[in-house]
Amino acid sequence: MSAIHSTQLVFLAAHAPFDRMEPAHLLWMLERMRLAYYAQGEVVVSPEQGAVEHFMVIKQGMVQAEQNLANAVEEDTWLELGEGECFPLGALLAQRPVASFYRAGKDTFCYELPVADFQTLLGLSAPFRDYCTRRIANLLEHSKQVIQAKYTQSSSEQQSLTSPLSAIIRRAPIICSPQTSVREVLERMHASRVGSMVAVDDAGRPLGILTLPDVLVRIALPQIDMAQPVIGIMTTQLTALPPHALAYEAALTMAKEGFRHVLVVENERLVGLVTEKDLFALQRVGLGQIGSTIRHAQQLEELQLAAADIRSMAHNMLAQGVAAEQLTQFISTFNDLLTVRVIELEYSASGLLATPLADSLCWMALGSEGRFEQTLNTDQDNALIFTVPEGMTAARVRELLLPVAKRINDTLALCGFPLCRGKVMASNPQWCLSLEEWKSTFTAWITNSSQVSLLHSSIFFDFRALHGNKTLADELREWLLNIASDNGRFLHQLAEDAMNFKPPLGVVRDFVVGKEKKLDLKLNGIAPFVNVARIFSLATGVPQTSTLQRLRASSVKMNIPAAEIEAWIDAFLFIQVLRLRHHDEGKAKGLGDEELDNLIDPEELNELDRRILKEAFRQARKLQARLELEYRL
């Protein structure tokens, strides 16, 4: 191997995807590359040059991509590439000209590989092909491995929540026929030392389940006839998942429904049973245990301990490498359970359940909780919607509800969910409204909105029912989607407002930072994705509230390529991972709930995370470019 090849290999091995390629494939590539020089300001590749002829890797210097070279200003530079980065992948894969002008931001040297050799290399090297076709997803996988390695010590005793249920099933299910007597079933459960029995038909299809907690309520206390068929006392409304479902899906099911067992069914036939004990050992705190503690809590102290357990669970899941989408769903699901329990206790203590209002109101989650995107740094955003019982007025209903809502908000604050600084809470008379009042409020925002009112009202469009009469929220959602999708002026205004949240990509440096030399991962990182997804969902009538569900569902109606959507989703999730890590590290340093923030110093990130964050911000710009195209901004 020549000296120059040794130097080149050392350089390439420090950057993705070359760090994962086989040495023989790297040598093959280097032997076919040439080193080209571009003076500062010189065009490297442009649309006028026709189909791209080279795959390029920056050895030294910097390349900027601009939409308009002739009259370029700082705002035109939407992409900045540094040493070790390669381009222009999209044009190469599509065998077309580039869409932007690429020019040297300073004196620059690039390795260049002819397009024919690039196509051959795609077939030779799987890591290279995977990177080129799934760029940000590939980088995220690499980053995930780094994160898991960092947390190895804290997660050494943890099971993976990304394992399929088929890998977790420990034994064949203990089954019986539906006509087996109750006495025989109990004897077999005792002899086999199991906590459940499933009745199946002749084809192996599950019909019912009996668990140990059922024994007390359904057998011992009523003193039933032990000779009767067991199916008569079994739970017959069963929840099942397929073998390929992941552990986190079973965990969410257990948490939401309060189950301790999940049936594993393939082609309608019972193939296994997964219990809470099989799934988790989260530092002695199981997910079912947290859920059970919350459901049965009677005192503030019990709820506060459960809130602490939720944060411990989040740390462990982060250590296990659970994906950001699933992790934020877990956090939001358990926060939902805790909030619901606080509501139940306060409703009961106030005597509200004994009034005509009991079935006439719905507590709604807004903002990040409404989108199932809560992290460890989240304040309260909630509201109440109600119908007015006969003989009462909306003002009178509000008078009864506000003191109760105030106690709920205060209790949640004591559990680690700070009061909303903007007072977007159910205890604020502005956000404790009848169904008709909510419709009037949304109508005012949609038909007479100013930029300021849009900015303050945006989180209300993310509402979802949390407790109570959920049909009220459903009716409001259906009504809202109908009037919003027909109001082009309103959607255009939302789009204009969304463009004010620019991803902080720099021209001279990688990132644009504030006075504290930090990036705001919420305002400039997450917000561009959240805002555009909200607009797309309102325009296309998509009822989902989570950002990722909105992007996936609306993209189908807007004919956006799936690969484009997945790149946006991967970018959003990586920023969420950085936020979760930042909050987790803040907790580890002893910071309180109100001290956590979303500000990070990009200089403290490792090279891989800096690179992926740049790519994530680029995807945010591409998403905004799509918005500009849709609304001709």
The CATH number for 223's domain is: 3.10.580.10
pLDDT in tens, 27-55: 999 999 999 999 999 999 999 999 999 99
Question: Helix H segments across 258-323?
Answer: 276-279, 287-296, 300-320
Residue indicated by tokens 């903002």: 367
Closest of 415, 379, 370, 330 to residue 598, by C-alpha? 379
3-state secondary structure of 220: helix
Distances (CA, A) of 280 to 313, 316, 334: 10, 11, 16
Check whether residue 127 and residue 170 sit in a common domain.
Answer: no
- Starting at the earlier edge strand, list the strands of the sheet with 361-365: 432-434, 382-386, 361-365, 464-468
Check whether residue 179 and residue 116 sit in a common domain.
Answer: no
Q: Is the pLDDT of residue 159 over 70?
A: no
Check whether residue 123 and residue 174 sit in a common domain.
Answer: no
Check whether residue 512 and residue 627 sit in a common domain.
Answer: yes
pLDDT in tens, 491-511: 999 999 899 888 887 654 568
Check whether residue 190 and residue 262 sit in a common domain.
Answer: yes
- Listed ranges 94-98, 110-114, 352-356, 449-453; the one with the highest mean pLDDT: 110-114
Check whether residue 214 and residue 117 sit in a common domain.
Answer: no
Q: Which residues span the domain enclosing 601?
A: 497-631
pLDDT in tens, 162-198: 678 887 776 778 899 999 999 999 999 888 878 889 9
> 250, 277 in Cβ contact below 8 A?
no
- Over residues 521-525, the mean pLDDT reads 90
- Over residues 377-387, the mean pLDDT reads 91
pLDDT in tens, 233-266: 999 988 899 998 888 788 888 877 777 788 999 9
Check whether residue 113 and residue 204 sit in a common domain.
Answer: no
Would you state the pLDDT for residue 387? 96
String of b and e for 244-276 (b: at least 16 CB within 10 Å)?
A: ebbbbbbbbbbbeeebbbbbbbeeeebbbbbbb
pTM for this entry:
0.67
Is 349 among the domain residues? no
Q: Is the pLDDT of residue 406 over 90?
A: yes
Check whether residue 609 and residue 510 sit in a common domain.
Answer: yes
Is 458 among the domain residues? no
- Over residues 88-107, the mean pLDDT reads 86
Check whether residue 98 and residue 213 sit in a common domain.
Answer: no
Is 539 among the domain residues? yes
pLDDT in tens, 207-228: 999 988 888 889 888 889 999 9
Check whether residue 80 and residue 199 sit in a common domain.
Answer: no
Domain count, the chain: 3
Q: Is the pLDDT of residue 457 over 70?
A: yes
Is 8 among the domain residues? yes
CA angle 153, 375, 367 (to 5 degrees): 170
pLDDT band at 155 (very low <50, low <70, confident <90, very high): very low
Is 43 among the domain residues? yes
Is 62 among the domain residues? yes
pLDDT band at 154 (very low <50, low <70, confident <90, very high): very low
Q: How far, in Å, CA of 45 to CA of 455, rounded?
A: 40
Check whether residue 122 and residue 176 sit in a common domain.
Answer: no
- Over residues 83-89, the mean pLDDT reads 88
Check whether residue 16 and residue 112 sit in a common domain.
Answer: yes
